[in-house]
């Protein structure tokens, strides 16, 4: 059988190739932590702005991993009793939920002075806010070239007559329910507790016009860039990355939903003392101020704005800059971690499928 | 048997179209990998080696590549002898028990992978095998066993067992008789089984999504993550490299065959 | 007092040895398939005591129900399409002269070397609104508005058929290859036209390959995960995705396990049904 001979030889050659690829795994330094974030341009930016400087200052090694959906792994890691991760950068609701479910270390803020100096609403017993981003409405400049007639509000997004075109929303209730309620006329500062029934009812209205329910940040950017959709709810940094590549797209902070990720430490983290030291460095005002120099996400530590590191022109582009924060809704992670919030999350699956 | 020309032409055209459909993704991936832009614009507006540089210059990609190669190799090293022994037993024993064991050994091909994946995820979580080399290799051995067994059983079917009997009657012990008489004749099947196990380990994604990570992150897992992080042509260049490597190997193999013939 | 027949003793020893040889492989499968799946089964009927609540839920809540119907519909479509596309290819590969059959088979096997993930990405480039396919169709004036080829069920089917086509072609090819040419000639010499000969002689003889291919493709589609996840537009939620979501997002092992068990039962039922026609090991062996 000639075919079999063929695979046999291929086998030998492939085995040889893989041997060549093998080399010893990287050596490990004395004091280190495993830091987990979400990857992509965001992780690269914080590596330059925060992780590398922190590692240098503390004389530690920061190993990195990236996981877009860290939550199930956080839980399974703790369930094993021997987690390999120390610090996780994850959407704040997961830190709150993790605290409730007892899978996180309670933080001693006396050892984290930089965090202790931050506003109380930016931390919980188990976590400290790390950076701000916003779920904004992005649109194609090819479809809406004129700023005056471009969509500006979620009501516009829902108005398929005045703004014809293809639309995409995130396949996730967080921020999407808020947008639906704002489209239905609820003011940005009166959203919580969310009227879940009303939000889903409003979503049913737009549903036939949603081309794609996106599941990853990369996908949302790709959809808008490739003209697959004309309007999308996406993270501000994703759309600004497109404009930097020269794509004909724009976004507005108006009625954006301001969200944050937080840092938390897994229960039984292998390098707990180092992890706490790192936490303090990570929210250091100067390091925090470095972040927006590399990506369009805002510092979580407000003192970063006083360091003078962020140029004035840059401040205006950041989601958490005071002027931008004013026109947005601030997400209540406390509501999303409540029983009502969790019920809304479960209802989502059934909604998306129909 | 001459058939009318027109139906034959139509038939040929249909087959040709199906074959084009089969290689269409490949025809897209290769040019995309040389694209100069970040996005899925096809044909690429300008060419560059940017994404190859991104792959080779990124220690994470390199680490994942080494990890996948290591897992593939270890999988072959473990699965091939285990599978060959089992295949030998299967073809030498006609008992009912052995037949049900044979069926059981085929389970990884029958049970939908997601079910195995979450089952393993839970068991590994209990045993502390998540994100370990042992855990990943074991899972891939399990997935690779059916391929080795199937291939070797087929090879043994065409092998005349009396040869081994003769060797044993000449005083060789069974193991030596197997090594010196049987194995050389079925080595092609053993290797074919091994290579299938290797491919299956390299391509495995779903179990890796659940149990790999950290230092022990497979290439496919990183590719899946990358598709969620940044949809950029890096994975097109990785895939081009993998396909090119295998294509060259196949070409070498065929030319070697021709020379041997 | 009993006299043991020496040949019987030999056979016993022989069988013991064979069991010993098979045992390492068996242990791996038991540890990594039987125990995990068995554990899932107990989870599916357990919630602080025996309960059928999880099953009641998946049969009464429409999320699950809809997912099951969608999955079976997609599996059916994919199976029929792979047969329609795969049969002629296998036929051609089994009948053309030397270099051509190798060429056809390498076209069939080549996609195997490309990761399923990357192929999903390629289909995105090909099928999206501004993608290659829509551009071509528009250029030839066949359509005026881009078609929605991806981010839906259709995109999932196109990519799934692509991945599973080799699983149809290869068993078909190996069956067809064994059909003696003389039979066809004999059929022709008895006065039947080519179509008649094909329908009366060739087609029935190729049926085992057809059944094997259909079964493999159908069952594999039932468990698909990556393609619908990446190309389904968030709406095409197949059973595997329901299982993983229940585990990942909601930590609902009971519900996930029950869904998994129902899926497993469906798969086993298909195999058992088909197993009456051709033995299972033969079917899987042809892969």
Q: Taking all residues of chain A, what is their mean pLDDT, rounded to a whole number?
A: 88
* B72 interface with A at CB cutoff 8 Å: yes
Indicate whether A142 and A190 sit together in one domain: yes
Contact A163, A207 (CB under 8 A): no
C248/A353 CB distance under 8 A: no
Contact C14, C22 (CB under 8 A): no
Indicate whether A153 and A165 sit together in one domain: yes
Indicate whether A345 and A218 sit together in one domain: yes
> Is residue B220 one of the residues assigned to a domain?
yes
Indicate whether A197 and A225 sit together in one domain: yes
Cα–Cα distance, B173 to B176 (Å, whole number): 5
The helix-helix angle for C116-127 and B234-260 (nearest 10°) equals: 120
Indicate whether A106 and A188 sit together in one domain: no
C-alpha dihedral sign at C221, C225, C226, C231: positive
Indicate whether A99 and A197 sit together in one domain: no
Chain C nearest CA to B89, separation (Å) = 5
> Is residue B76 one of the residues assigned to a domain?
yes
Q: What is the CATH number of the domain that holds B168?
A: 1.10.3720.10
Indicate whether A50 and A82 sit together in one domain: yes
Q: In this structure, what are the phi and psi dihedrals at residue A332, rounded to the nearest 5 degrees?
A: -95, 100
* C247 interface with A at CB cutoff 8 Å: yes
Closest residue of B to C92, CA-based? Answer: B15
For chain A, the domain total comes to 2
Cα–Cα distance, A291 to A178 (Å, whole number): 27
Chain C nearest CA to A306, separation (Å) = 39
Give the pLDDT confidence score for residue B252 in this predicted structure: 64
CB atoms within 10 A of CB A1: 10
CB < 8 Å to B138, chain C: 28, 31-32
For residues C65-84, average pLDDT: 95
Q: What is the DSSP string of A177-203?
A: HHHHHHHTT--GGG-PSP-HHHHHHHH
A173-190 confidence digits (pLDDT tens): 999 999 999 999 999 999
> Given pLDDT bands bounded at 50, 70 and 90, which one contains residue C4?
low
Indicate whether A111 and A178 sit together in one domain: no
Give the pLDDT confidence score for residue A66 in this predicted structure: 82
Closest residue of C to A3, CA-based? Answer: C102
CB < 8 Å to A219, chain B: 228, 231
Residue of A65, A286, A240 whose CA lies nearest to A136: A240
Give the pLDDT confidence score for residue A21 in this predicted structure: 41
> Is residue B98 one of the residues assigned to a domain?
yes
Q: In this structure, what are the phi and psi dihedrals at residue A150, rounded to the nearest 5 degrees?
A: -75, 155
C-alpha dihedral sign at A269, A272, A278, A279: positive
A244-269 confidence digits (pLDDT tens): 888 999 999 999 999 999 999 999 99
CA distances from A82 to A121, B125, B229 (A): 31, 10, 28
Chain A nearest CA to B97, separation (Å) = 31
A109-120 confidence digits (pLDDT tens): 999 999 999 999
CB < 8 Å to C22, chain B: 85-86, 89-90, 98, 101, 105
C234/A350 CB distance under 8 A: no
Q: What residues contact C198, with CB distance under 8 A and at least 6 apart? A: C184
Question: pLDDT in tens for each of the 261 residues of chain B?
Answer: 456 788 889 999 999 999 999 999 989 999 999 998 877 777 888 899 999 999 999 888 999 999 999 999 999 999 999 999 999 999 998 889 999 999 999 999 889 999 999 999 888 888 888 888 999 999 999 999 999 998 899 889 888 888 888 888 888 888 888 999 899 988 888 888 888 888 889 889 999 988 887 778 899 888 888 887 777 888 889 988 888 876 776 666 555 545 444
CB < 8 Å to B230, chain A: 39-41, 218
Tokens of B17: 């179209």
Of the listed ranges A259-268, B201-210, C44-53, C186-195, the one predicted with least confidence: C186-195
CB < 8 Å to B168, chain C: none
CB < 8 Å to A63, chain B: 214-215
Cα–Cα distance, A300 to A350 (Å, whole number): 34
> Is residue B103 one of the residues assigned to a domain?
yes
Q: How open is the CA angle B37-B39-B42, to the nearest 5 degrees?
A: 85
Give the pLDDT confidence score for residue C134 in this predicted structure: 92
> Is residue B139 one of the residues assigned to a domain?
yes
Cα–Cα distance, A298 to A292 (Å, whole number): 6
Strand, helix or coil for residue C237: coil
Strand, helix or coil for residue A264: strand
Indicate whether A310 and A341 sit together in one domain: no
Mutate to test the interface with A, among B28, B36, B38 (most CBs of A within 10 A): B38
Give the pLDDT confidence score for residue C252 in this predicted structure: 77
Give the pLDDT confidence score for residue B94 in this predicted structure: 84
Nearest to A228 among C102, C105, C130 (CB): C130
Residue of C278, C226, C218, C222 whose CA lies nearest to C80: C218
* A172 interface with B at CB cutoff 8 Å: no
Q: What percent of chain C has pLDDT over 90?
A: 46
Contact C149, C133 (CB under 8 A): yes
CB < 8 Å to B126, chain A: 80
Chain B residues 195-224 with a CB less than 8 Å from chain C = 199, 203, 205-206, 220, 223-224
Q: What percent of chain A has pLDDT over 90?
A: 71
Contact A129, A264 (CB under 8 A): no
Indicate whether A232 and A342 sit together in one domain: yes
> Is residue A15 one of the residues assigned to a domain?
no
> Is residue A108 one of the residues assigned to a domain?
yes
Nearest to B112 among C85, C162, C223 (CB): C223
> Is residue A25 one of the residues assigned to a domain?
no
Q: What CATH superfamily classification does C55-285 receive?
A: MetI-like (1.10.3720.10)
Closest residue of A to C241, CA-based? Answer: A349
Q: Which domain holds residue B181?
A: 70-227
Give the pLDDT confidence score for residue A60 in this predicted structure: 95
> Is residue B106 one of the residues assigned to a domain?
yes
Chain A nearest CA to B159, separation (Å) = 14
C17-42 confidence digits (pLDDT tens): 999 999 999 999 999 999 999 999 99
Helices and strands (H and E) in chain C: how many: 15, 0
How many Cβ contacts (< 8 angstroms) between chains A and C? 53
Helices marked H in chain B = 5-33, 50-57, 59-92, 96-105, 107-110, 113-127, 133-157, 162-169, 174-177, 183-203, 206-211, 219-229, 234-260
Indicate whether A231 and A188 sit together in one domain: yes
Pairing label, strands A231-235, A210-214: unpaired
C-alpha dihedral sign at A223, A224, A229, A233: positive
Chain A nearest CA to C140, separation (Å) = 21
Q: What is the CATH number of the domain that holds A310?
A: 3.40.190.10
Cα–Cα distance, B129 to B132 (Å, whole number): 5
Indicate whether A98 and A164 sit together in one domain: no
* C229 interface with A at CB cutoff 8 Å: yes
Q: Which domain holds residue A63?
A: 32-132+260-329
A285-315 confidence digits (pLDDT tens): 999 999 999 999 999 999 999 999 999 989 9
* A4 interface with C at CB cutoff 8 Å: no
* B241 interface with C at CB cutoff 8 Å: no
Contact C227, B117 (CB under 8 A): no
Tokens of C111: 């996609």
* A67 interface with B at CB cutoff 8 Å: yes
């Amino acid at each position: 059988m000639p075919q079999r001979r063929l695979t046999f030889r291929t086998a030998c050659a492939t085995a040889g190739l893989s041997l060549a690829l093998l080399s010893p795994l990287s050596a490990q330094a004395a004091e280190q932590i495993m830091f987990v974030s979400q990857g992509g341009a965001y992780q690269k930016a914080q590596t330059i702005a925060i992780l590398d400087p922190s590692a240098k200052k503390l004389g530690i090694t920061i190993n990195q991993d990236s996981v877009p959906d860290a939550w199930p792994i956080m839980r399974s890691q703790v369930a094993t009793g021997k987690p390999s991760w120390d610090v996780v950068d994850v959407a704040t609701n997961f830190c709150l939920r993790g605290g409730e479910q007892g899978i996180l270390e309670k933080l001693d803020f006396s050892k984290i002075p930089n965090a202790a100096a931050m506003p109380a609403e930016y931390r919980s017993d188990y976590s400290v806010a790390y950076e701000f981003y916003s779920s904004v409405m992005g649109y194609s400049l090819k479809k809406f070239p004129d700023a005056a007639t471009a969509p500006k509000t979620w009501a516009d997004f829902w108005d398929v007559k005045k703004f014809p075109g293809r639309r995409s929303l995130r396949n996730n209730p967080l921020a999407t329910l808020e947008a639906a309620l704002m489209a239905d006329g609820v003011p940005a500062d009166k959203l919580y507790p969310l009227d879940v029934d009303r939000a889903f009812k409003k979503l049913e209205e737009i549903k036939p016009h949603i081309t794609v329910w996106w599941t990853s940040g990369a996908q949302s950017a790709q959809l808008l860039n490739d003209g697959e959709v004309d309007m999308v709810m996406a993270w501000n940094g994703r759309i600004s990355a497109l404009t930097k590549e020269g794509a004909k797209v724009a976004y507005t902070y108006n009625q954006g939903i301001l969200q944050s990720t937080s840092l938390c430490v897994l229960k039984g983290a292998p390098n707990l003392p180092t992890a706490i030291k790192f936490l303090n460095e990570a929210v250091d005002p100067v390091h925090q101020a470095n972040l927006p120099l590399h990506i369009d996400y805002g510092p979580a530590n407000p003192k970063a704005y006083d360091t003078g590191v962020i140029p004035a022109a840059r401040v205006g582009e950041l989601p958490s800059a005071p002027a931008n924060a004013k026109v947005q809704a601030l997400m209540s992670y406390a509501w999303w971690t409540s029983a009502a919030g969790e019920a809304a999350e479960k209802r989502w699956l059934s909604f998306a499928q129909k | 048997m001459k058939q009318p020309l027109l139906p034959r032409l139509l038939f040929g055209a249909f087959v040709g179209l199906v074959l084009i459909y089969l290689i269409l993704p490949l025809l897209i991936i290769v040019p995309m990998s040389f694209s100069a832009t970040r996005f899925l614009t096809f044909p690429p507006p300008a060419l560059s080696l940017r994404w190859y540089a991104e792959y080779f210059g990124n220690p994470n990609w390199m680490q994942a590549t080494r990890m996948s190669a290591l897992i593939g190799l270890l999988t072959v090293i473990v699965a091939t002898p285990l599978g060959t022994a089992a295949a030998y037993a299967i073809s030498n024993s006609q008992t009912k028990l052995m037949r049900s064991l044979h069926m059981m050994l085929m389970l990884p091909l029958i049970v939908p992978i997601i079910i195995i994946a979450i089952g393993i995820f839970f068991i590994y979580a209990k045993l502390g095998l998540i994100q370990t080399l042992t855990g990943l290799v074991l899972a891939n051995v399990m997935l690779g066993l059916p391929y080795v067994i199937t291939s070797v059983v087929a090879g043994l079917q065409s092998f005349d067992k009396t040869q081994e009997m003769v060797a044993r009657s000449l005083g060789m012990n069974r193991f030596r008789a197997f090594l010196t008489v049987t194995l050389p004749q079925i080595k092609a099947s053993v290797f074919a089984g091994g290579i299938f196990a290797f491919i299956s380990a390299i391509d495995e994604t779903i179990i890796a999504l659940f149990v790999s990570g950290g230092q022990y992150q497979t290439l496919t897992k990183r590719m899946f993550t990358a598709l969620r992080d940044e949809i950029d042509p890096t994975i097109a260049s990785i895939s081009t490299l993998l396909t090119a490597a295998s294509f060259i190997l196949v070409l070498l193999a065929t030319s070697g065959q021709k020379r041997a013939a | 007092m009993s006299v043991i027949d020496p040949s019987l003793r030999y056979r016993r020893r022989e069988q013991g040895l064979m069991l010993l040889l098979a045992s390492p492989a068996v242990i791996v499968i038991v540890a990594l398939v039987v125990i995990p799946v068995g554990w899932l089964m107990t989870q599916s009927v357990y919630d602080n005591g025996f309960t059928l609540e999880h099953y009641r839920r998946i049969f009464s809540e429409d999320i699950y129900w809809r997912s099951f119907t969608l999955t079976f519909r997609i599996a059916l479509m994919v199976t029929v399409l792979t047969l329609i596309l795969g049969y002629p290819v296998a036929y051609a590969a089994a009948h053309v002269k030397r270099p051509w059959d190798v060429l056809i088979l390498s076209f069939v096997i080549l996609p195997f070397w490309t990761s399923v993930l990357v192929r999903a990405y390629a289909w995105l480039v090909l099928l999206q609104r501004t993608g290659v396919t829509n551009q071509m169709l528009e250029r030839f004036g066949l359509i005026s508005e881009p078609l929605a080829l991806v981010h839906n069920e259709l995109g999932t089917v196109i990519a799934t058929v692509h991945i599973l086509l080799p699983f149809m072609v290869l068993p078909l090819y190996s069956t067809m290859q064994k059909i003696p040419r003389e039979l066809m000639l004999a059929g022709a010499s008895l006065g039947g036209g080519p179509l008649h000969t094909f329908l009366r002689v060739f087609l029935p003889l190729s049926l085992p390959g057809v059944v094997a291919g259909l079964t493999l493709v159908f069952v594999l589609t039932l468990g698909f995960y990556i393609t619908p996840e990446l190309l389904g537009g968030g709406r095409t939620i197949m059973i595997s995705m329901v299982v993983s979501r229940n585990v990942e997002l909601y930590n609902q092992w009971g519900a996930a396990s029950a869904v998994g068990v129902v899926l497993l039962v469906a798969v086993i039922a298909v195999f058992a049904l088909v197993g009456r026609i051709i033995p299972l090991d033969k079917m899987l062996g042809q892969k």
